[in-house]
Structures are given as C-alpha cells and as structure tokens.
Amino acid sequence: MKASRFALGFLALMVVPAVACSSAESDSPDTGSVEEADQDDLDGKADGVTKPTGTYELSKPSTMGSKDLTLLVLKTDKVYHAEKQVQCVTTPCDPVGFDGTYKLTKSTTSSKRFIRFDDGTRYEYKLASGGKLSLRLVDTTPWFEMKHATDAWCGEPTDCTLQNIPQPKCPGEWQCEANTCSFSECGPLPGNDCEAAGGSCVALYPGSCADGVVGSASEYSCGGPVGVQCCLPKPKPPVCKNAGTNDEGWFHADGTKICAADCAGLAVKCSAIGSKSEGWYTDAGHGCIGMSLIGWDNCG
C-alpha cells in the first residue's frame, strides 16, 4: 500500500511542472525556431521576396529590453552596423554600436527568412511594402518594428554608395557628415551647360523643342545668347532588368544600375512634376530602398 502511494505521489510531481509551463506558453521562448535549420538565401528575386538593404531605425519596440536594435544598417557588401540602447547610471545614455558581417538565410523547412550576424546571432525578419522591417531573435517571441530612416547612416562616404540610396542625377558625390549621408550640391556643368548635358540651344519660340524638353535657364545655360533656350532630349524612364536573378533591379537606359529591387513587370511613371521631388516612381515598396521612388530626374 505504501508503495502505491509513493508511486502516485511521484507521478503527481512529474505532472505539475508540465501544467505550469503550458500556462505561460505565450511568453515562452520560440524553441522551435532555435533548432530550425537555415541555408544561404541566394536565389535572388525568383521567389518574389525583397531583401532588406539600407538604414533602418526602431519604430515600435516590443519591450524596453536590450534585445531590440535601435539602428540597423545593412550594406550590399554584406557588412552591417547596428546599435542598441543600454542602461546606464548617468545620462545621457548613448547607444552602443557594433559592426561585423552578415548574411541572409532562409529556413530549410518553412518560409521563414533570417539575418545571421557573424557572432552567431540570428534574427527572423519580415519586410513589408513601404520599407517596414519586422524582426525578432529566433529564441524569443516578441517582434519589434523598424522603418527605413529618412537619413541613411554612414561612418564614411563609401557607406552611402553601398545602401542603394537614390542618387541625384547631376555632378556631385556622397559625403558623410555627423554619421549621415548627404549628397554634395550639384555643381554647374562646364562651358555651355546645355550642350554639356546633351541638349542643344534652339530659338526661343513655341514648337522649337517639340521633340524634347525645355531645360531650366538657370541649370542649362546656353552661354549668354539672347533669344535661345536649351532643348534637352526627352529623358528615358528606368527599366527593370535581370528579373529573377541576384542582379534584378532598376537601370538607366545606358545600362547603369540605379538600385536593386523586386521590379519585374512593374510600370514606371514621372511624378511630382515641377517640385524638388520630381522623378521616376513605381509601385510602393518596389522602388529603391523599399520605397516607390526610383530616382530624381527632370522627367516632366
């Protein structure tokens, strides 16, 4: 009889922890993701998945814990820069930055995608249209949201060229000031600005530039003659090339690549005509760096 009571007591002890764990299931680590095997995600855009590139900043933290990144910069050379907010005794508490290499991977058994850092840390990610990036460590349940930063981060000017940032179509270069990418002011073209830009100086009367676009006199000077205007060739819209490969993206008509993007079959239009934002646009999330903008241009 004593043996039977002992056995029943032992079984009761074995059952209690299982019940306690199930009651906190929603807050428990996602142990299934920890062991989930992954492999390099090298199939480009063939699967219709857009890969994250550029500067992302924290928009919706899951908690105030240290697992959320406040800044994440993913460059096309597979080098990253990240920052985390830490607790400190005195203020201000500046974020702690760290750098390394990364690679994009995908699960071998599901549709999950991951960003794997060189220290072994792995984040599952989801990239939505408009550039919203949702992340979570694979051993945790909460997601946190990041968005494309208005100003791209940089440590040096070359960091700006490795983030697929739309570049103004004019002479100039990327500069890195206070860890922010900025493009130098578009300098004047030498000599006859109109001809240097590929245009021609025609008589100033209606119809003289019917096959082209009249350029601004302040930007495309004809060198001083009165009664002439600059007639520029009609700009050609960007085209999507190399669909379904690692090199899929938007290209200028001369073959120069503008940026990587999931763009197959999408239309291009000139929008924001007459404003500083005039340029080529496409469907939201399929332009450069996850936006609708492909590049600024005097296209109208």
User: Mind listing the pLDDT tens digit for each residue in 6-27?
Assistant: 333 433 333 333 333 333 333 3
223 in the same domain as 245? no
Structural tokens at position 176: 């890195």
- Same domain flag for 74 and 176: no
pLDDT at 153 over 90: yes
- Would the pTM count as exceeding 0.95? no
Q: How many domains does the chain have?
A: 4
**What digits encode the pLDDT tens for the residues 65-85?**
556 899 999 999 999 999 987
What CATH code is carried by the domain that includes residue 118? Answer: 2.40.128
Does residue 75 lie within any of the structural domains? yes
| 60 and 118 fall within a common domain | yes
**C-alpha closest to that of 280 among 251, 244, 254:** 251
Do 260 and 205 fall into the same domain?
A: no
Choose the most confident range, by mean pLDDT, from 51-55, 67-71, 188-192, 254-258.
Answer: 51-55
109 shares its domain with 142: yes
Q: Read off the pLDDT of each residue in 159-166 and give the average, rounded to a whole number.
A: 90
Parent domain of 163: 151-187
Assigned domain for 32 exists:
no
Residue 258 inside a domain? The answer is: yes
Q: Indicate the residue among 128, 163, 187 that finishes a domain.
A: 187
Is 23 inside a domain boundary?
no
Same domain, 155 and 246: no
Whether residue 92 has a cis bond before it, omega within 30° of 0: yes
Provide the residue count of the chain.
300
CA distances from 64 to 27, 86, 156 (A): 16, 10, 31
Q: Is 13 a domain residue?
A: no
Q: Are residues 44 and 70 in the same domain?
A: yes
Q: What is the pLDDT of residue 19?
A: 34
Separation in Å, CA 37 to CA 42, 113, 138: 16, 11, 11
The answer as to whether 11 is a domain residue is no
Question: Considering the domain boundaries, does residue 21 fall inside one?
Answer: no
Assess contact for 138 and 31: CB atoms under 8 A: no
* 110 shares a domain with 134: yes
Q: Are residues 109 and 166 in the same domain?
A: no
Looking at 202, 233, 264, which one is the last position of a domain?
A: 233
Same domain, 240 and 224: no
Taking all residues of the chain, what is their mean pLDDT, rounded to a whole number? 79
User: Please, what's the b/e burial string for 252-291 (b: 16 or more CB within 10 A of its CB; e: otherwise)?
Assistant: beeeeebbbbbbeeeebeebeeeeeebbbbbeebbbbbbb
Does residue 8 form part of some domain?
Answer: no
Residues 298 and 240 in one domain: yes
Last residue of a domain, one of 187, 215, 246: 187
Q: Are residues 102 and 179 in the same domain?
A: no
